Amino acid sequence: MREISIEGFGGFVGAGGPASHVHQRGRLDWSALSAADQAGLDRLFAEQARVDANLFYRLTRVGAGGTETVDALPDQIPPALLASVQTTLD
């Protein structure tokens, strides 16, 4: 894996909607994550569990095999990755 990106959807703010001016995105090099975090994320991507929640994050990682995406709840996400999220206005 080279890197992982994260985008927030929902919550009170509801960032990421079609016409929204507010976005909540972040990214980290895969190597910046601990081995335990990488293993936890590997499980998330493998499980591909459906998320039906008020707030969720879309994780996308890029590796030699291509791009993978999975939706996750805040407490499933390593704090370091969650902390990379920056809020921006356009």
Partner 1 sequence: MTCGCCIIPEDILLRFASDPELSDAARQALHHTAEISGQIRALRQQNAALTLTALRLPLPRPPIPFPLPHVLPAAHVFDCHHTTALPGVQVANPGSSPDGPIKRAYVESENVAKFYWDNFKRDSIDGNHMTLVSSVHYGVKYNNAFWNGAQMTYGDGDGQIFLDFTLGEDVIAHELTHGVTQHSLGLAYSGEAGGLNESMSDVFGSMFRQWEKKQVVTKADWLIGADIMGPLSKQKGFTCLRDMASPKSPHAMAPQPDHYYPGIGNLDPHYSSGPPNLAFYKAAQAIGGHSWEKAGKVWYTALTTAPPMPNMTMSKFAARTRKLSTSLFPNDPTVHNAVDAAWTAVGL
Give the interface with partner 1 as residue ranges (CB under 8 A): 8-22, 24, 34, 36-37, 40, 52-55, 73-76, 78-79, 82-83, 87, 89
Nearest to 81 by CA among 30, 43, 35: 30
Q: How far is CA 16 from the centre of its chain?
A: 13
CA distance 12 to 31: 32
C-beta of 66: minimal distance to partner 1 in Å?
25
Nearest to 5 by CA among 25, 23, 27: 27
* C-beta of 16 vs 27, nearer to partner 1: 16
* C-beta of 46 vs 53, nearer to partner 1: 53
* C-beta of 35 vs 64, nearer to partner 1: 35
